[in-house]
Amino acid sequence: MYQQITLIGNLGNDPEMRLTPSGKQVTSFSLAVSKKWTTDGQQQSKSTWFKISVWRGQAEAVATHLHKGSKVMVVGEVEEARAFIDKSGNNRASLEVTAKEVKFLDNRADGSCIAVSVAPEEDYDPIPF
């Protein structure tokens, strides 16, 4: 079996890099994927939140170059859903995704974008933190 998810959105916080007990680097960040539409002349919007984990050497690149609000494309695998209560007291869920590839979509001064590929599956250690 194989599953893959592709997401384009904006970071909801600055990335946080940590080390697992075995010494591997992992960076996590929240990603808001927003949908906008118009109904009866009223603009509507909805954001779905994902918790993204990026492993090993690529974790450092993500932690160094991205910040809250950065636009990225993430290709990865869905790990699980986690329930939480938002600031308004509403029940919500966040999907956890292990990134296989992260593409930075914010343009640099020279108009280019950066693509970062994550190490193969066997190189990450999916220990929750």
Question: In the prediction, which pLDDT does 58 show?
Answer: 85
Q: Are 11 and 27 in contact (CB under 8 A)?
A: no
Question: In the prediction, which pLDDT does 40 show?
Answer: 93
Quote the domain boundaries for residue 64.
Answer: 5-34+46-123
Mean pLDDT of 31-52: 93
128, part of any domain:
no
Question: In the prediction, which pLDDT does 111 show?
Answer: 61
Question: In the prediction, which pLDDT does 121 show?
Answer: 44
* Strand partners of residue 51: 30, 96
The torsion region of residue 92 among left (phi > 0), alpha (psi -120 to 50) and beta comes to: beta
pTM of the model: 0.77
Q: How confident is the model at residue 96 (pLDDT cuts 50, 70, 90)?
A: very high
39, part of any domain:
no
Burial 57-80 (b: 16+ CB within 10 A, else e): ebbebbbebbeeebbbbbbbeeee
Q: How confident is the model at residue 92 (pLDDT cuts 50, 70, 90)?
A: confident
119, part of any domain:
yes
Domain count, the chain: 1
Question: In the prediction, which pLDDT does 117 show?
Answer: 53
Which residue in 8, 24, 33, 2 sits closest to 118, CA to CA? 24
CATH assignment at residue 11: 2.40.50.140
Q: How confident is the model at residue 86 (pLDDT cuts 50, 70, 90)?
A: confident
40, part of any domain:
no
Q: What are phi and psi of 50, to 5 degrees?
A: -130, 145
